[in-house]
Amino acid sequence: MSERTPEVEAGTPEQENHTPNHRPRLALVTGASSGIGQAFARRLGNEGYDLVIVGRRLERLESLAREFPNVMVRPLVADLGTDAGIEAVADICAHEEISMLVNNAGVAHYMPFTELPADKGSELLHVKVVAPTMLARAVTPGMVARGEGTIINVAGMLAFSGQAPAQGRATYVATLAHLVALSQALHQELHVQGLRIQVLCPGIVATEFHERQGFDLSALPRMSAEDVVTASLRGLELGEVVCAPGVERTELLGAVVTASLAAFGAQSAQLAERYHTP
């Protein structure tokens, strides 16, 4: 844990964050050892948030913590692909005053569905479905009691690609779609109690993520992790529940929501005509 220096100049984010008249802001970021999670931790640390940074590589977490001598940074090694790892992080979410939860940890395991080993499938579902859901479940009672709090679930534009002609990512795409639906439903339930919920859906981002899957996407146009974080935080200010950093025409996202609600509202208790016996 890095220690805060005893003297802070007036007007700095650190002072604003820790004066007696202001409750300290604490952000918990999963997958903070690289990529988007690391960019979130850096941005929030620079804005004066105390941090709990979660990942599987202690040396990277400790290196990141040393960048912020003026805020409290707690590295936490946890594998969110396991029940034990999820429970360790959920315990912090439940018992500390978390101002912002960034559910960013990710793993892909791209491969044909029939070839996906059970252990890899379970890991993917734990990291991208169980962990974000259970961490949100643990953190929201405290946020509701305080009347404020932010949850950012990092998904991706692949959440909208279920019908795209691509092989080897059925389970991964489904996990991202879960995050979109979860975030939309949580927003409907919790925004009236002062909480902000966002699902962040970037496209291809210049991080280690695809390299760890054995893919070289360096020749493709890619957004920086820093720009993704900029879009997310600005999206919160704009009130966006679904934040798509690379989509210029926001009405396209609105059309998806409108079409979904139209289909939902068009149902009835009667069997649709097309299912009647000819």
How confident is the model over 149-196, as pLDDT tens digits?
999 999 999 999 988 877 789 999 999 999 999 999 999 999 999 999
The counts of H helices and E strands in the chain are 10, 7
Tokens describing residue 122: 């379970």
**pLDDT of the residue at 235:** 98
Write down the catalytic residue from 49, 110, 172, 275. 172
**pLDDT of the residue at 154:** 98
**pLDDT of the residue at 164:** 84
Q: What is the CATH number of domain 17-275?
A: 3.40.50.720
Is the distance from CB of 7 to CB of 15 less than 8 angstroms?
no
* 49 labelled catalytic: no
Q: From CA 14, how far away is CA 67, in angstroms rounded? A: 14
**pLDDT of the residue at 22:** 60
> b/e for 223-248, b at 16 or more Cβ within 10 A?
bebbbbbebbbebbeeebbbbbbbbe
Tokens describing residue 61: 């977490």
123 burial (CB, 10 Å; 0-12 / 13-18 / 19+) is: middle
Distance, first Cα to last Cα, the chain: 71
Place of tokens 């009667």: 270
Going from N- to C-terminal start, the domains of the chain cover: 17-275
Instruction: Calculate the CA 132 to chain-centre distance.
Output: 7
**pLDDT of the residue at 24:** 76
CA atoms within 13 A on the CB side of 179: 35
Is the distance from CB of 51 to CB of 17 less than 8 angstroms?
no
**pLDDT of the residue at 4:** 35
Beta-strand (E) ranges in 81-131? 100-103
Is the CA virtual torsion 196, 200, 206, 211 positive or negative?
Answer: positive
pTM of the predicted model over 0.75: yes
**pLDDT of the residue at 16:** 43
pLDDT less than 70: residues of the chain: 1-23, 208-220
Q: From CA 245, how far away is CA 223, in angstroms rounded? A: 9
**pLDDT of the residue at 8:** 31
Instruction: Calculate the CA 118 to chain-centre distance.
Output: 24
Is the distance from CB of 184 to CB of 134 less than 8 angstroms?
no
Q: Tens digit of pLDDT for each residue in 205-239? A: 887 665 666 666 666 677 999 999 999 999 999 99
Beta bridge partners of 74: 52
**pLDDT of the residue at 206:** 80
**Cα separations in angstroms, 49 against 7, 55, 71, 79, 101:** 17, 18, 7, 24, 12
